[in-house]
Chain A
Amino acid sequence: MDISIRQLGVRYGDVNALRGVDLEIPSGELLALLGPSGSGKTTLLRAIAGLEPVDSGQIVFGKQDATRLSVQERRVGFVFQHYALFKHMSVLDNVTFGLRMRGRDTRPPNDEIGRRGRELLELVQLGGLEDRYPNQLSGGQRQRVALARALAIEPSVLLLDEPFGALDAKVRRELRVWLRQLHDDTGYTTIFVTHDESEATELADRVVTLDAGKINTQAQPAALA
């Protein structure tokens, strides 16, 4: 789905976290938001998800103005920096949570939910770990559970906050390659936040640099084909 961000402004008290951000993200693009901490990149990601109240401007999903839509209505797949897996649920229950929370009219039958959960776990290469609990997984495995959970709701857009921030260098590199592959296979519009320039340029179709709440047009690294 195309995402349009128009003159977006977010304030925290006296601080302008975002100051008139304009951004067009065509459907299927893998976009990196690059910037130092405090540049507003995570705020922008959270604003797109509906987790951060917006003070001015517009967020458009496809043809629909999503600015005033609730988090639930936006149906974004959000992968949190520390994964935010549900500690008291098995891996499978984590992944199927979004499906199980659907209203009675749109919720698939239980065996269908279980089947889709297992499919997604196969997709993120965690088949066989359905009954584990998050605290029994490695960092890289948790990351992939979080991703499978976000994909389960067939999101309008996939948003990842510092997806590799908490992982060691080796796992980081493997996951990067794998995530790129996954994106090409599934075709979801994907936005991820990072402060690592090489990670951004290596992984993304396009890199947007944020600085002090604005898009820094001077600092754009060359786009990758």
Chain B
Amino acid sequence: MSSRRALSEPRAIRWLLIAITLAFLIVFLLLPLLIVFTQALSHGLGTFLRSFGDADTLAAIKLTLITAAIAVPLNSIFGIAAAWAIAKFDFRGKNLLITLIDLPFSVSPVIAGMVFVLLFGRQGWLGPWMAAHDIKIIFALPGIVLATVFVTFPFVARELIPLMQAQGTEEEQAALTLGASGFRTFWHITLPNIRWGLLYGVLLCNARAMGEFGAVSVVSGHIRGLTNTMPLQVELLYNDPGAYSAAFAVASLLALLGFVTLALKNFLEWRHGDELAALRGRT
């Protein structure tokens, strides 16, 4: 009797934990997403599709894609460089650098946006000089890209630092003794060893770059058809009583981008599972 109790209790706890987790997932993740899609389609597929015919909405989608296309490669390069420096070298101030990389996670995105306005805005430190040279950053694409780069900076680096630290430098040293140059060592040894971690970081970075609202909102100026990204366009449409379902249509597209990111990640893990296991040194 007592042994059965000992067995049954953990099972009850296990089911309880699973039930709590599921309930949370449903209430806070699935339900909101479901509402986004039902609202988007509440006036029929025709209205849904027509929402994307709007010139301003199309411009917002295009701007978001352009921003991500600039910010993600930049942060991939920064991320690799930072992770490389931290994982493979010992130097003074290393911990400070790691803390700095995490800064965008701990600072509110709105503050990040404000920093750029303070720097490059008309009343900002560099404002007069830039006005004199006809350079526009705030309320224009460069500002939006800067804000996005700031907010998404940690994703790739954070993904790569523990991976590269775990892998050490022995394979690189071996490549050097075999006559490979520094660059070829990176290309043939380091990069293949980190490629899946890198890809994962890039996917997360991309999802955030497309979805960023706060920082971009501050620097964008909300000019319809010019400096509105998709998240900003969603807000704008949402506040317009006539465009309620259009807001959800754009929002559903954003959500879909997130799903594609996740699906892609899972596909890669499934497709290259063997190789991933090999990289982790398992048989």
- B-binding segment of A61-69, A83-91, A190-198: A83-91
Contact of A88 among B181, B275, B282 (CB under 8 A): B275
A84 to B174, CA, bound (A): 7
User: In the complex the two chains form, is A87's CB within 8 Å of B193's CB?
Assistant: yes
B187 to chain A, nearest CB (A): 11
User: In the complex the two chains form, is B170's CB within 8 Å of A80's CB?
Assistant: yes
Return 6 A-B CB contacts under 8 Å, by A number.
A72-B177, A72-B179, A86-B188, A87-B171, A88-B192, A101-B179
A75 to B192, CA, bound (A): 24
Of the listed residues B174, B181, B189, the one surrounded by the most CB atoms of chain A closer than 10 A to its CB is: B174
A10 to chain B, nearest CB (A): 16
A153 to B283, CA, bound (A): 29
User: In the complex the two chains form, is A71's CB within 8 Å of B171's CB?
Assistant: no
Residues in B lying within 8 Å of A, measured CB to CB: 170-171, 173-181, 184, 188-189, 192-193, 275, 278-279, 281-283
* Residues of chain B contacted by A101 (CB below 8 angstroms): 175, 178-181, 184, 188
* Residues of chain A contacted by B192 (CB below 8 angstroms): 88
Contact of B170 among A49, A77, A84, A98 (CB under 8 A): A84
User: In the complex the two chains form, is B175's CB within 8 Å of A97's CB?
Assistant: yes
* Residues of chain A contacted by B275 (CB below 8 angstroms): 88
Tell yes or no: A149 within 8 A of B by CB: yes
* Residues of chain B contacted by A216 (CB below 8 angstroms): none
A87 to B283, CA, bound (A): 11
A168 to B283, CA, bound (A): 19
* Residues of chain B contacted by A72 (CB below 8 angstroms): 176-177, 179-181
User: In the complex the two chains form, is B278's CB within 8 Å of A153's CB?
Assistant: no
Tell yes or no: A164 within 8 A of B by CB: no
User: In the complex the two chains form, is A86's CB within 8 Å of B171's CB?
Assistant: yes
Tell me the nearest residue of chain B to A74, going by C-beta: B177
A55 to B99, CA, bound (A): 33
Contact of A84 among B171, B180, B181, B282 (CB under 8 A): B171
A147 to chain B, nearest CB (A): 12
What sequence of 0s and 1s flags, for each residue 119-157 of chain A, a beta carbon within 8 Å of any chain B beta carbon?
A: 000000000000001011000000000000110110000
Tell yes or no: A188 within 8 A of B by CB: no
A133 to B280, CA, bound (A): 13
Given A75-B179, A87-B281, A98-B179: A82 and B170 within 8 A (CB)? yes
A72 to B181, CA, bound (A): 7
* Residues of chain A contacted by B180 (CB below 8 angstroms): 72, 97, 101
A97 to B177, CA, bound (A): 11
* Residues of chain A contacted by B173 (CB below 8 angstroms): 51, 71, 78, 80, 84
Tell yes or no: A32 within 8 A of B by CB: no
User: In the complex the two chains form, is A136's CB within 8 Å of B177's CB?
Assistant: no
A102 to B184, CA, bound (A): 11
A107 to chain B, nearest CB (A): 10
Tell yes or no: A76 within 8 A of B by CB: yes
User: In the complex the two chains form, is B178's CB within 8 Å of A136's CB?
Assistant: no
User: In the complex the two chains form, is A78's CB within 8 Å of B175's CB?
Assistant: no
User: In the complex the two chains form, is B176's CB within 8 Å of A88's CB?
Assistant: no
Tell me the nearest residue of chain B to A93, going by C-beta: B188
* Residues of chain A contacted by B170 (CB below 8 angstroms): 80, 82, 84
A133 to B192, CA, bound (A): 14
User: In the complex the two chains form, is A136's CB within 8 Å of B179's CB?
Assistant: no
User: In the complex the two chains form, is B281's CB within 8 Å of A135's CB?
Assistant: yes
User: In the complex the two chains form, is B279's CB within 8 Å of A87's CB?
Assistant: yes
Contact of A133 among B175, B176, B193, B278 (CB under 8 A): B278
Closest 3 pairs between A and B when the two form their complex, measured CB to CB: A98-B178, A84-B170, A84-B174
Tell me the nearest residue of chain A to B283, going by C-beta: A135
Tell me the nearest residue of chain B to A78, going by C-beta: B177
B178 to chain A, nearest CB (A): 4
User: In the complex the two chains form, is A51's CB within 8 Å of B283's CB?
Assistant: no
A82 to B281, CA, bound (A): 12
A172 to chain B, nearest CB (A): 21
B274 to chain A, nearest CB (A): 9
B34 to chain A, nearest CB (A): 41
A120 to B61, CA, bound (A): 57
